Structure 1
Amino acid sequence: MTDEARPMRADARRNYERIVTTARAMFAEHGVEVPLDDIAKKACVGPGTLYRHFPTRENLMAAVYREQIDALSQRAFDLLEQLTPGDALDAWVGEQVSWVADRHGLAMTLKASLDAGSETFGWCRGRLNSATATLVDAAQRAGAIRADVTGVDLLRLGHGVGVAAQHASAEDTKRLLAVVLDGLHV
């Protein structure tokens, strides 16, 4: 059995999660060049533990980005369980806009530091595409949005509003999001 196939011990899993959570917060606050030893110290693990999980800064950045994309994608499925398809789509686009506006700088830095053809980007793209396709399909079956809208359209629209929100007031962002959502509805 290879190391990759062996499940992670519970203590190793906790350390891994603590490192990723700490790195996410420290990258957001201090940028991705924050010393890795500072991340290890704040995560209450030794530098050896950090480097065992993440041999390079890029490995840690990829884990942080992947975790964020996974959480955003999972929200689409969670919202579909809690709301009508149209309301779930609207709520998720609002969350995507907030995510992009709040994390755009960090996400762009992470993306610039990672290979665009990497397994991480492929996985993230697939996860987001699956989530948005599920939302769009459900909303279209419910007659809540136009039949010609695709999941990729939804991602692009939400990203565009999120980038615009960085330079707009909360009121302007809310109005712009309402215009986009109104354009999707039938």
Structure 2
Amino acid sequence: MVVAEQPRPRRMRADARRNQERLLAAADAAFAARGTDASLEEIARAAGVANGTLYGHFPTRQALLEALLRERMDALAGRAAELAAGTEPFEGLRRWIDAAVDHATRYRGLSAACLRALEDETSELYAACHALLGAAGQLVARTRAAGELRADVTERDVFTLVSAVAWAVGEGTRDQADRLLASALAGMRAAGTAGNRPESR
């Protein structure tokens, strides 16, 4: 039996690759300055290409975000496995939440975009955001099994917390956001564990 050769993926032309690189650089600058709602037309103009070229490479805003953040999101998802293997359960969860907040604050509105993508299977961010949700779930389950996390805390709660802290960073100060995060983490701890024990009088 002869197996037909699979067609090789077509290589991107050099000019198309340069256009894509310029678009990604312009999008990174625009999203960092104005958030994920920055004008796509302005991004195309800053990259020196027509709107049609932008949409040819990135049909939607979510596709552009996914291309910009793919490696960072993959690394953040993989970080959960590293922390699960090398840290105490609650400390691992705390460190991952810190890393997730750092990721979410790269662009204002990013965490909200990821929360929306979780409910939209057509979004280019759907798979990556679900991978992050799964990473959070891995650490939540481990911490709960160790008796260090309240039984009612879920990975969705963790995502909501990351979103809230990212919003606080954008609207206030990092110190304020850190206090919010510390208070929320203390509230998530199981009663009687370190960090959630009433002080002796």
TM (normalized to structure 1)?
0.67
Larger relative contact order (Cα-Cα within 8 Å, sequence gap ≥ 6): 1
Equivalent in the alignment of 2:195:
none
Indicate yes or no: 2:22 matched with 1:22: no
Indicate the SS of the match to 2:147.
coil
1:172 maps to which of 176, 188, 201: 176
1:36 maps to which of 15, 40, 44: 44
Indicate the SS of the match to 2:142.
helix
> Contact conserved, 1:32 with 1:110, CA < 8 A, in 2?
no
Equivalent in the alignment of 2:151:
147
Equivalent in the alignment of 1:96:
100
Indicate the SS of the match to 1:74.
helix
Unaligned runs of 5+ in 1: none
- Who wins on radius of gyration, i.e. which is larger? 2
Indicate the SS of the match to 2:150.
coil
Question: Cα offset for 1:108?
Answer: 5.5
Indicate the SS of the match to 1:103.
coil
Q: Alpha carbon RMSD of aligned pairs, Å?
A: 4.1
Unaligned runs of 5+ in 2: 191-201
Question: Cα offset for 1:65?
Answer: 5.0
Greater fraction helix: 1
Counterparts of residues 36-185 of structure 1 (less than 5 Å): 36=44, 38-39=46-47, 54=57, 56=59, 58=61, 59-64=63-68, 66-105=70-109, 116-185=120-189
Letter of the 2:142 counterpart = A
Q: Distance in 2 between matches of 1:94 and 1:125?
A: 17
Q: Distance in 2 between matches of 1:136 and 1:107?
A: 19
Letter of the 1:176 counterpart = L
